[in-house]
Amino acid sequence: MLLHLDRPADAYVLRGADGHRARVNDRELTASFLLAPDRLDEAWPVDDARLLDVAAIDALLAWQPEVLVLGTGATQVFPPAAARAACLARGVGLEVMANAAAARTFTVLASEGRRVVAAFVLAGDSSNRR
């Protein structure tokens, strides 16, 4: 039997996420972060999706996604209407779900070559977050 090592072409591969941690490539992340197949920002200063403001959404939209996946922690929590409207006004699809589902959705969309950006809210040290 011939075996081949499958190496994804993307620079960043999301291996999984829950409400407290995520694994990107071989690194465990414990603070909220932004992710695209070719880009990772480990310093997303959001710790509660219910308080997500338009400025935080604008930072995500600057990555020019066609679809934005928002992982809201261990459970699904919807951001304020103004944040959702900011995506709609720019023609960007917004999918809101718990982190585990958001990780699976991001992986599928990235594997299809879609311009997807994911934002994950992780519970952790929130001493310098909003």
44, part of any domain: yes
- What confidence tens digit (pLDDT) does each residue in 52-68 have? 999 999 999 999 999 99
User: Taking a C-beta distance cutoff of 8 angstroms, is the pair 35, 10 a contact?
Assistant: no
* CATH code: domain of residue 64: 3.40.1230.10
61, part of any domain: yes
Dmax (CA) for the chain in angstroms is 55
37, part of any domain: yes
- What confidence tens digit (pLDDT) does each residue in 12-66 have? 999 999 999 999 999 999 999 999 999 999 989 999 999 999 999 999 999 999 9
Q: What is the dihedral of CA 122, 87, 81, 34, to 10 degrees?
A: 10
46, part of any domain: yes
How many angstroms separate the CA atoms of 77 and 57, rounded? 15
Domain limits at 92?
33-120
Query: 31, 6, 14: which is closest to 109 by C-alpha?
Result: 14
Amino acid at 99: N
21, with CB counted inside 10 A (0-12, 13-18, 19+), is middle
51 token code pair: 């308080």
Give how many domains the chain has, as a whole number.
1
8, part of any domain: no
- What confidence tens digit (pLDDT) does each residue in 70-126 have? 999 999 999 999 999 999 999 999 999 999 999 999 999 999 999 999 999 998 644
